[in-house]
Structure 1
């Protein structure tokens, strides 16, 4: 059974990637071509001509129409064929699927499911984006060689940071601190505070912390495709209120997961912070450090994917630290099963330990 959830908004591309040329990207197994119309708004069609199936991205834009590069058929942004060179009659089957798109937070979001359910109000809200005193890093992208469920589990797993990210966000003092897990509808949060402990290297480097600190990590996962990690470091001994956290060293780290195939994922990330606003040198260092951190995850999850493919298993032993990751996977699998067609029967509960990629 597929693990894809179609009735949701996914990031298809960063705004700067889409212009007056044809941009192709595979999303949820579908080839998509994106472009901007002459008025600047974005459009998306299935990247497959209705005639001989040539990718439309191999053609060109003619005004607001996509012209196939094989026989010159032209399609408007609704997917309707509006021109067939050499004949007046346009066959009724000469049309391609179009997809709803919304531009928000410097990103193009696409709805791959039922068009009538594509409510722009459902696009995920990015906290503090554009607010005074908060800086934003966006337009960041990586290509991850694993099923998005493995990434979702990784992003809901504070325990791995001590070992997988020793030179960046890892904090040995946190390794023995238990993680608490809560679920609220289609949101799972795994969280912990590490109190009266030395700060990790990233906070020493960017926050200037010298003494003991209190540091929280709130790993939020919003089904099906958004992770928000709320990280805050305070000098030890302060009350853990929202007001004190905003006065501390705080950042919201967003990852938007867009499945390409059952074994590969488009990984878009954004970072919103309340410190060193306007410091270009620090921002460049943050980008370098986070890019390295997420690439460390890419290597690990890619290696896991290879072994899952080889064995047909997801994992063998289950640990207490799997509570959050397993809950996220179960939530996503249940949502995918609910969307399954009659040809894709719902998976039995006994398949939880099997690979779904």
Structure 2
């Protein structure tokens, strides 16, 4: 069974990736083609001509429309065929499935499920985005060779930072600090404070602390696969309040996981920080540090995926630190069950003649 949740918004691309040309990308196992209309708005169709199944991304733009590069069939952004060379009549089945899109936070988001359920309010809010005093690094992309749920496991697991990220955001001080977990209807939060400890490498590089620090890690996972890591440090023994945290060294790292296939994932990320917000040098350093951090994750998760594929088993034993990952997987399973139930009800109530329209 697929591990995907379809009725959700996923980052399809950074805004700058999509232009006046067809761009192909596989999302949730579906091949899509993206382009921008002449007014700058993005469009997306299934990347498949209904005639001989040639990829529409191998075609070209004609005004706002997309022309197949095989026989010239031309489709508008709603997926309707508007021209067949040498033929006046256009069959009703000559269509390509369109996908709802929204552009927000410098990214183009795609809704892969039932179009009528696409709700803009379901896009996660990016904290501090566009606010004065906060530096932004965006437009970042990595490709992970693992299922997206292995990454969501990782992104609500502060415990792994001690071992996987010794050179970036972790150190031995946190080895025995327990992780607390909270759960809402659409998110899971794992968090901890590591008090009176040596600053981790990132904080040493970017902060100006004279001594020990209190460090926090708040790992939010918004279903199905948007992560926000609220991370930072303040001088040891200060009050653990929002005011003190904003006055210390603080960052919000957003990771937008878009499943490509069952074993590969598009990993888009952006980073907001309150230290040296206008420094291009600091932005370059943060980009390198965070890239190194995520590549450390990518390396270990690729090995995990390889062994899971070989054995057919996800894990032999569960630990206390698996509390948050287990909650996420249960919530994902509930969403999948609800989508399957909805699909079964739609099939049972659909008139016979509507089945042809579902094949586009």
TM-score class, shorter: over 0.9
Tell me how far apart the structure 1 counterparts of residues 129 and 264 of structure 2 sit (CA, whole Å): 28
Q: Which residue of 1 aligns with 2:187?
A: 187
Does 2:45 match 1:36?
no
The 5 Å alignment of 1:112-151 reads 112-151=112-151
Q: How far has the Cα of 1:334 moved from its partner?
A: 2.1
Name the counterpart of 1:347. none
- Alignment match, 2:14: 14
Q: Are the equivalent residues in 1 in contact too, given 2:6–2:111 (CA < 8 A)?
A: yes
Matched residues, number: 344
Counterpart-to-counterpart distance in 1, 2:15 and 2:278: 22
Give 1:208 deviation, angstroms: 2.4
Indicate yes or no: 2:283 matched with 1:283.
yes
1:77 corresponds to which residue?
A: 77
Is residue 246 from structure 1 mapped to residue 252 from structure 2 by the alignment? Answer: no
Separation of aligned partners in 2, 1:290 and 1:210: 24
Deviates more, 1:165-174 or 1:322-331: 322-331
Deviation at 1:282, TM superposition (A): 1.2
Preserved contact between residue 230 and residue 253 of structure 2 (Cα < 8 Å) = yes
SS of equivalent to 1:54: coil
Distance 2:88 2:156 in 1: 57
In 1, Cα distance between equivalents of 2:265 and 2:233: 31
**How big is each residue's C-alpha offset from its partner over 1:2-55, in whole Å with a ceiling of 9 and x where there is no partner?**
111011110000000000011000001110000000000000000000110000
Within 1, Cα distance between the matches of 2:152 and 2:143? 15
1:206 aligns with 2:206: yes
Residues 45-194 of structure 1 aligned to structure 2 (within 5 Å) = 45-194=45-194
**Preserved CA contact (<8 Å) 1:24 1:31:** yes
What is the deviation of 1:135? Answer: 1.2
Secondary structure of the equivalent of 2:88? Answer: coil
Measured after TM superposition, the shift of residue 321 of structure 1 is: 1.0
Please name the residue that 1:354 is paired with.
none
Q: Which residue of 2 aligns with 1:350?
A: none
- Deviation of 1:247 after TM superposition, in Å, equals 0.5
- What's the offset of the Cα at 1:333? 2.1
Contact 1:102/1:120 (8 A) holds in 2: yes
Distance 1:119 1:202 in 2: 38
* Structure 2 partner of 1:307: 307
Per-residue deviation, 1:143: 0.6
Q: Which residue of 2 aligns with 1:340?
A: 340
1:163 and 1:340 mapped to 2: Cα distance?
A: 39
1:261 is aligned to 261
TM-score (norm 1): 0.95
> Structure 1 residue 237: deviation in Å?
1.1
CA contact (8 A) 1:204 1:210 kept: no
CA RMSD of aligned residues (A): 1.2
Q: Distance in 2 between matches of 1:131 and 1:343?
A: 42
How far apart, in 2, do the equivalents of 1:18 and 1:89 lie? 32
Contact preservation (8 Å) 2:162, 2:170? yes
TM-score by length of 2: 0.94
Deviation (angstroms), 1:160:
0.4
Are positions 1:296 and 2:289 aligned together?
no
Aligned to 2:354: none
Distance 1:121 1:302 in 2: 33
Q: Secondary structure at the match of 1:142?
A: strand
Instruction: Measure the CA separation in 2 of the matches of 1:136 and 1:343.
Output: 40
Deviation at 1:193, TM superposition (A): 0.4
Q: CA deviation at 1:342?
A: 8.7
Deviation at 1:209, TM superposition (A): 2.2
5+ residue gaps, structure 2? 345-360
CA-to-aligned-CA distance 1:269-290 (integer Å, 9 cap, x gap):
0101111011111110110111
Residue by residue over 1:93-113, the C-alpha shift from the partner in whole angstroms, topping out at 9 and shown as x without a partner, is: 100100000001110000001
